[in-house]
Chains A and B, each alone.
Chain A
C-alpha cells in the first residue's frame, strides 16, 4: 500500500513583471516560487486501480514522480508498506517496491529485450536461471517471442511499450505507478495496457495511473483523484463523482467540477 501525506513540491518559475526604473518602464523576468503540488494526500490499497486526472500542468507528473521516488518532496511524505503492514524505509527498497513507467522511461536502445530483462532481473536480486525462466514466461504472456532478441532501437512503438511493461513485470513490484501509459498508442496496444493493469489488480497489486482518457478511467478505476493547480479538487469512486455532480458520465462530471472550482 502506498500513502501520501500532505505532499508538497515547490518550484521556481519565471514571470514577466513590469517595473518602473527611473522614467522608462522596463520589462524584466522575475523569478518566483510556487507549489506545483500543494498538500496532496492520497491513499492506495492492494487490489485497487487509482486514477489521477487533471489538465496539463495540474501537477500530475510531479506528484507521480515524487511517489515513484524520482523526486524528493519539499514537504510531506510518501509512506510505503509491504504486505505485512511494515513500513519500507530504505530508498533502494522503496524503489524496488515500485514499478514506475512514463513516457520518459525509455529502454537502452543498444540492448536486446532479453539482455535487458536479464540485467534487470539480476539487479533486483533474482538468480540467473530464475530470471531466464521468468523472461520466457513474460515473453509468452506479452506475445513478445518474435522480437525478444532484437535490439530495442529496432522495435516499433507498440513493441517498445510492451517491452516497457515487461520491464515492470520483471521487477514484480507491489505498486505500479504509470504516467499516461496509453498516451499515443493504437487501440490494440492500449487495450493490452488496460488488460495488464486489470491483471495486476487481480493479483492484489496497487495501480496508480494518470490519464486524459476519461472514458477509460470511468470503466477502469476504483477511485479517482482530480487535481488542479497542485490541489485535489475532488475524489471518490467514478459513480460517486457522477452522483455528486448529477451527471451520467465522467467527462461531464469533470467539466462540472472544474467549472465550479474555477468559479470559486
Chain B
C-alpha cells in the first residue's frame, strides 16, 4: 500500500512536470473553452444586433394603396409583434427590386377575393424576416376583416371558435431541458474526461518506454500490479481534474454570459439549479467512474505502443469509438434500460440525459457505474497480467495473439492463445450486434439462424487458421465410461436450482423477463421443427464449439502449459469460470447472466469430467428444446410437467426444488468425481 502511494506520487509529479499534459489539463479548459464560448456568442451577438437596426423596405402595387394602408394600421396597433420599421414603397410596373427586401402584390380573383403574393429571397436574412412579418400582418388583417364581416351579420367572434384546443406539455421544463441538452452535456463530459486521460496515459506508458525509464522501473522491488495500478490511479486523477476544470470553466463562461455582457441574448432555459442538487452526488460518482473507465481504456491501448507517435495512432480509433458511443444520449428514442446499461460509455451518456431531466433511477445509475467499474477493473487486471517486463519491453507487444502470424508459419496442432480466443469472441460479438440484428430485421426468424451460423463459423475458422488439433481441443471424444448418467443427474439437479434462481431474478428484474418473452413471440409462430433446428440444435452445436470447445479447451491448455508445476485442477477451474462468465455476458441480458453463468460452468465442468463435448451438446439441445416447448405449447407442457409453467413458486415448491436440486446435483457430482482421469 505504501509502495502504491509512493508510486502514485512519483507518477503524478512526473505527469505534472510534462508541458503537453499541462497544456491539455489547464490551458485548454481554462483559456480555450471560455474564449471559444464567449467569443462565439459575442460574434453572434454583433451579427444579430446589426440586423436589428435595419429598417425594411417593401415594394407594393400602387393600385392597392388602401389595402397597404390597412396593413400598416394593423401593424401599428400590435407594436409588440411588429417592433421594427417597415417602409412601404409604391412601385410601378417595371420598378427594380434591387433595393427592396420583399415585394407585395395583390390581385382580386373571379370570386372577388383578394389574393396577396409576397416575393422574397429566402437566403437573405432581412428578406426572410420581413416576409414573416408581412405574412403575420396579412393574417392580422384577415382576422380583422372576418370580425368586421361577422359584426355585419350580428354574430359574435365566438361563432368562429365553437371549440378551442390547447396543448399542455406534461413534461416539466426541467425534463425537456434534460432531454434536449442533457445528451450533449453527457457527451461533452465524456469527451473531456477522455481528453484529460489521453496524454497522461500515453506519457506514463509509451512515454516511459520512449524515455528509457521503464526498464529502470522494472528493476525496482514492486509488483506489476502495483506499477500498473499506480499509473492507472494517477491517470484517472488527472482525467478527473481536467474534467472538473473544464466543467467549472464551461459553467463559468455560461454564467458570465447570462449575467454579464450579453445577458439579453441568452435564452432562458427554465432550468432550476436547485433541483439538480439531489443528483449531484450521483453525477460526481459517475464522473469518477467514467474517469477510471476512460483511463483504463486509454492505457489498454497505450501500453502496447513503443513511442508517443505509435500510441497516438492506437488511440485515434478509440477516440472515435468513444465519441460515437457518447452520442447515444442525443438519440431521442434510446433510453437507459436493462440492455443499454451494460454498454460502457453509452450508459454514461444515457444516464446523464436522465440525470439532467431529473427522472433517473438510482438502481440503473448504480448498475451503470458498477458495470463501468467492473470493466475498468477487468482491463487493469488484464494489463497487470500483460505488463510483465518481457511482453512490454522486449517483445513486439501483442505476444498473446497467435492470430497475427501467417498461416503457413503456424505449426500444426497450435492451441489458440487466450488473446486469440478473446479476440474471436469480441469479433463475434460485434458481428452479432451489427450483422445479426440486421439479419433479424430483414429475415425475422431466419435471421436467428444467420447469427447461429456465425457462432458456429468463428470457432471453426479460428481452429482452421491455427491448424489446431480439433479432436483434443474440442474434446471430440466418446464420453468416459459411466460418466453420462452422472452428467444427466448433475444437469437435472442444476436445472432445479436454476428454476428457483430465475424466479428470484424475476422479482428483481421484472421488465427484463418480459423482454425475453417478447423476443420469443416471432419465433413461436414457426413450425416446431424449425424452432428446434434454429433455437435448439444450432446453438447446441455452435455455442458448445465456441465456449466448451474453443474457449474452455484453449484456456485450460494454455494454463497447463504456463503453470507446469501446479496441479492441473486449478487450470480447469480457471477455464471453467472464465468460459462460464463469457457465456453469461454473451447472452446480453442482465437478468439471464446468473443463470447462463451457472449453465456455462456446469457444461464446462461436464466436458472436463467426461472428456466429451457430445454430452453437453445433448444437454444443451434438451435445455433449449424444453424452454422452446414451454413457449410454443404452454398448455401441453403444463399437463405433463406442470411445475415448469408456474411463474411464482410456493414456499413448498421452492424447498422441494432446492432439495431435489441438491440431491440430484450431489449424486451427479459423486458419479462424475469417482472416475479419475
A residues sitting closer than 8 Å to B (CB atoms) are: 30-31, 65, 68-72, 91-93, 95-96, 98-100, 102, 104-111, 115, 119-120, 122-124, 167
Contacts and interface: CB of A to CB of B under 8 A. Distances in A.
B350 to A, nearest CB: 40
A124 B221 contact: yes
B215 A104 contact: yes
B14 A111 contact: yes
A70 B218 contact: yes
CB-CB nearest 8 A-B residue pairs: A106-B212, A96-B221, A110-B17, A105-B216, A92-B221, A100-B219, A95-B221, A104-B215
Interface of B: 3, 6-7, 9-10, 13-14, 17-18, 211-213, 215-216, 218-223, 388-390, 393-394, 405, 409
A70 B389 contact: yes
Nearest to A108: B213
Contact of A91 (B7, B18, B212, B223): B223
22 contacts: A31-B409, A65-B394, A69-B219, A70-B215, A70-B218, A71-B390, A72-B388, A92-B221, A92-B223, A99-B219, A105-B215, A105-B216, A106-B211, A108-B211, A108-B213, A110-B14, A110-B17, A111-B13, A119-B6, A119-B10, A123-B7, A123-B221
B30 to A, nearest CB: 22
B221 A93 contact: yes
A111 B213 CA distance: 12
B222 A107 contact: no
Contacts of B213: 106-109
Contacts of A105: 212, 215-216, 219
Nearest to B5: A122
- Chain B binding surface SS class: helix
Contacts of B219: 68-70, 95, 98-100, 105
B216 A107 contact: yes
Nearest to B399: A12
Contact of B394 (A71, A108, A119, A122): A71
Contacts of B17: 110
B160 to A, nearest CB: 80
A117 to B, nearest CB: 12
Contacts of B10: 108, 119
Contacts of A99: 219
Nearest to B408: A28
Centre residue among B10, B223, B388 by max chain A CB count within 10 A: B10
Contacts of A124: 221
Nearest to A71: B390
B241 to A, nearest CB: 18
Nearest to B19: A110
A98 B212 CA distance: 19
A92 B216 contact: no
B403 to A, nearest CB: 14
Contacts of A30: 409
A35 to B, nearest CB: 16
Nearest to B388: A72
Contacts of B3: 123
Given A31-B409, A108-B211, A111-B14, 11 more contacts: A31-B405, A70-B389, A92-B221, A104-B212, A105-B215, A105-B219, A107-B213, A107-B216, A108-B10, A119-B6, A167-B216
Given A70-B389, A110-B14, A110-B18, A123 B215 contact: no
B209 to A, nearest CB: 10
Contacts of B394: 65, 71
B168 to A, nearest CB: 62
Given A96-B221, A123-B221, A124-B221, A72 B390 contact: yes
A119 B393 CA distance: 23
A77 B14 CA distance: 36
A123 B216 CA distance: 13
Nearest to A115: B13
